[in-house]
Chain A
Amino acid sequence: MAAITLRKIIKRYGAGAKANQVIHGVDAEIADGEFVVIVGPSGCGKSTLLRMVAGLEEISGGEIAIGGRVVNDIEPSERDIAMVFQNYALYPHMTVFDNMAYGLKISKVPVAEIKARVDKAAAILQLAPYLARKPRELSGGQRQRVAMGRAIVRQPQVFLFDEPLSNLDAKLRAQTRIEIRKLHAELGVTSLFVTHDQVEAMTLAQRMIVMNAGRMEQFATPDEVYARPATTFVASFIGSPPMNLLTGHANGASFTLDGQTVPLPAPAPRNGELTLGLRPEHVVAGGSGGWPLKVELIEMLGAERLVHGQLGSHAFTLRMDGMLTPPAVGSTVQLQLSAQHLHWFDIATGARVEAT
C-alpha cells in the first residue's frame, strides 16, 4: 500500500507547433489506503491521468510518485500496481484460474501460495465454481469479477480502475458498486477509480477529483463537493437535477435579475456581477415576498416532484416532496431561499466566492 503523489502533471500529444496539450498541470496527494475517484465528462482527461499513473502513457511534464518513488521512467511491469480495465482485458486463451495466476507466476510466487491466493480471491468474489472456465463462457458481470480477482491476488501497492462498471447493466452496476466498497473496506488498498458517472463517484469516493477539460477543478470529499462546490462546473456536474445558476447583480442583501430586484436571506459576499447558485432541493415554493417563479412544467417522480419554470429569463428547477400538492401550471409561485444554501461564483472565472 502506498500514497500516490501527482505533481504538476502535464500531458501533451505531438510536438512543436502541432502539440496538443490535454492535461494542464494537475496536483494531488492521495493518502495511503485512500479510495479516490476521478470523475468528469468524456474527454476531460481522467482516463489519460489514470493511464499515466499506470505507466501506459508517457508523462509529458511533472512527476508521479508511488510510495515515495518517482515512477516517470519506470515500466508498468515494475510499478507494483494492478488495473481493472473497462473491457476487462481477460486473456481469452487462459482459464479463469490462469488469468488470475498469471501475474503471480511471473513474480515467481510458489505454486502453493498462488493456489491459496487465487482460491481466497475466488471465494470473496464468488468465482469458485468458474475457475476452470474460459472467459468466453462467462457473463459480463462474472468477467468483471475475474478482472478484479486478477488485481486482488497480486496484492499490489495501488489499485487502478478504468470505468470498470460502464459495460454492466444498471442493476449489476449498483450491486457491484457495493461490492467494491466492501472490498475496499476489507483490503484497504490505495485506489484510483475513474468514472464519468457522478452517482458512482459520490457513493464510492472517500475523496474525489472533479476534472474538466484537462484541469482539476476540485479535490475534496463528496460532502464538501456537494455542499461547497469550487466552481460552476463542479456545481452543475454534481447533484441531480443540477444546480440552478443565475447571473445577475448583487448589492448587499438584494439581487437584481433581469431588471427585477429580489431580496436575499443573507448578503452577497461582495457587490457587483455575480453568479448565484441554488440547488433545486434547497428552495421552497410558497409564502409571499420571495422570488416569482412562473411554473411551466411539472415532472412527477413518485417520491418527489420536479417543478420547472422561468425566473425572469432564466430556466429554474425546484424539487418538492411528492406528497405535497403541486402548484398549478401557468401560475406564479414565490420561492423562498435559505441563507445557508446560497452559492456564489465569480462570473468570469466561475470560481467560488466565499462570504466573508
Chain B
Amino acid sequence: MEKRVVFRSGWLPWALLAPQAIVIAVFFFWPAGQALVQSLQQSDAFGTSVSWVGLENFQNLWNDETYLASFKTTAVFSILVAVCGISLALLLAVFADRVVRGATVYKTLLIWPYAVAPAVAGVLWLFMFSPSIGIVAYGLEAMGIDWNHLLNGGQAMTLVVAAAVWKQISYNFLFFLAGLASIPKSLIEAAAIDGARPWRRFWTIQFPLLTPTTFFLLVINMVYAFFDTFAIIDASTQGGPGKDTSILVYRVYYDGFKALDIGGSAAQSVVLMVIVVVLTVLQFKFVEKKVNY
C-alpha cells in the first residue's frame, strides 16, 4: 500500500529517519554483522589473536552431541509449551465467550499474568516446587510423587514448561477471544438452525474458522519458547540439572559469557538467527491469508 499524497522535501525525511537509523545501525546491524564474522573465527585462550577458521565452528557444533541434544531439548520444550499453552487458552476462551454474566471480570483476571516478568515467573515456580521448601513439592510428596527437579531432568523440564505456559496463557487467551469474536454471529445462528448443538457448532464451525489464529499462535508460542524463556530458565534451573533444560538460547549465553567460546557462541547465534527468520517467514505467510466471510 502506498500513499498517493506525499510531501516533498529534500532533507526532512532523512532527519526524521536518522534517530532510528542510527540506533539500528549501531545496535543491530553492526553486532549482527559481527556475529556473522565471529562465527567464522576462533580466538585463542587469551583472546589476543584471532584466526579465520571458516565453517569450522559450525562443523564443531554439528558434531557436538550436547549441542544436538540442546536442539532436541529446545524442540521438546517449545512443542510442549506451544501445545499446552494453546489448548488451555482455547478451552478458557471458548467458555469465556459463552458466559454472559461476569465475562469482563474473568477476562481481566485471566489476562494480567501477561504483565509478570518471565524471570519473576521462574522465581515463583522455583519457590513453589523447591524440593526442600516448596509448598507444591510438599503436596506432591504427600501424594506419593518423589519430587526433586535438581536431580531429575524430566521434572526440571516439567517445571520450566509449567512456568512458561502459565505466563503465556493470557496472551493466547486474548487472541482466541478476539478470533472467536470475529466469527459473525449469524454463522453460529445458521448452524443452530441447521440442527447443530453447542458441541458440534464448536468443532464444525468455530474451530475451523479459528485456524488462522491457531497457526499464528503456534508460531508465536514457538518463538516465545525459543527466546523469551531465557529468564525463566536462568531463574529456576540454570539449564540444569546438567544440560537437561539448556535450551539453545541459554547455550548461546553460557558458551559466550561463561565458557568464553566466542566463536562457538557466535556460530550458535547465527543458527538461531536462521531459525527465527524461517519461523517469522512462516508466520507472515499464514497471517497474510485472511479469511473472508
Contact = CB atoms under 8 A, between A and B. Distances in A.
Touch between chains A and B, by CB atoms below 8 Å: yes
Interface of A: 54-56, 75-79, 81-83, 85, 87, 89-93, 102-103, 106-107, 136, 150, 154
**Chief secondary structure at chain B's binding surface:** helix
A352 to B, nearest CB: 38
Contacts of A77: 192-197
Interface string B195-214: 11100100011001100000
Nearest to A93: B208
B200 A106 contact: yes
A75 B198 CA distance: 11
B293 interface: yes
Given A54-B189, A81-B193, A107-B195, 6 more contacts: A75-B192, A76-B192, A76-B193, A77-B194, A89-B184, A102-B191
A154 B193 CA distance: 10
B181 interface: no
B26 interface: no
Nearest to B188: A89
B195 A106 contact: yes
Interface of B: 184, 186-187, 189-197, 200, 204-205, 208-209, 291-293
A79 B189 CA distance: 13
A85 B186 contact: yes
Contact of A92 (B191, B197, B204, B209): B209
8 contacts: A55-B193, A75-B192, A76-B192, A89-B187, A91-B187, A92-B293, A93-B209, A136-B292
A85 to B, nearest CB: 5
A307 to B, nearest CB: 46
B209 A83 contact: no
A107 B193 CA distance: 12
A92 to B, nearest CB: 5
A91 B205 contact: yes
Contacts of B187: 89, 91-92
Contact of A83 (B184, B193, B205): B193
B200 A56 contact: no
Nearest to A85: B186
Contact of B189 (A89, A91, A150): A89
B194 A150 contact: yes
A239 B116 CA distance: 67
Contacts of A150: 190, 194
Contacts of A55: 192-193
Contacts of A82: 193-194
Scoring A56, A77, A85, A150 by chain B CB atoms within 10 A of each residue's CB, the highest score goes to A77
Nearest to B192: A76
B184 A87 contact: yes
Contacts of A136: 292
Contacts of B184: 87, 89
A52 to B, nearest CB: 13
B292 to A, nearest CB: 5
Contacts of B209: 92-93
A259 to B, nearest CB: 56
A75 B204 CA distance: 19
Contact of A89 (B186, B208, B292): B186
Nearest to B200: A106
Contacts of A83: 189-190, 193
Nearest to A98: B204
B84 to A, nearest CB: 26
A56 B188 CA distance: 10
A217 to B, nearest CB: 28
B26 to A, nearest CB: 47
Given A77-B197, A106-B200, A89 B192 contact: no
B292 A103 contact: no
B193 A102 contact: no
Contacts of A54: 189, 193
B159 to A, nearest CB: 39
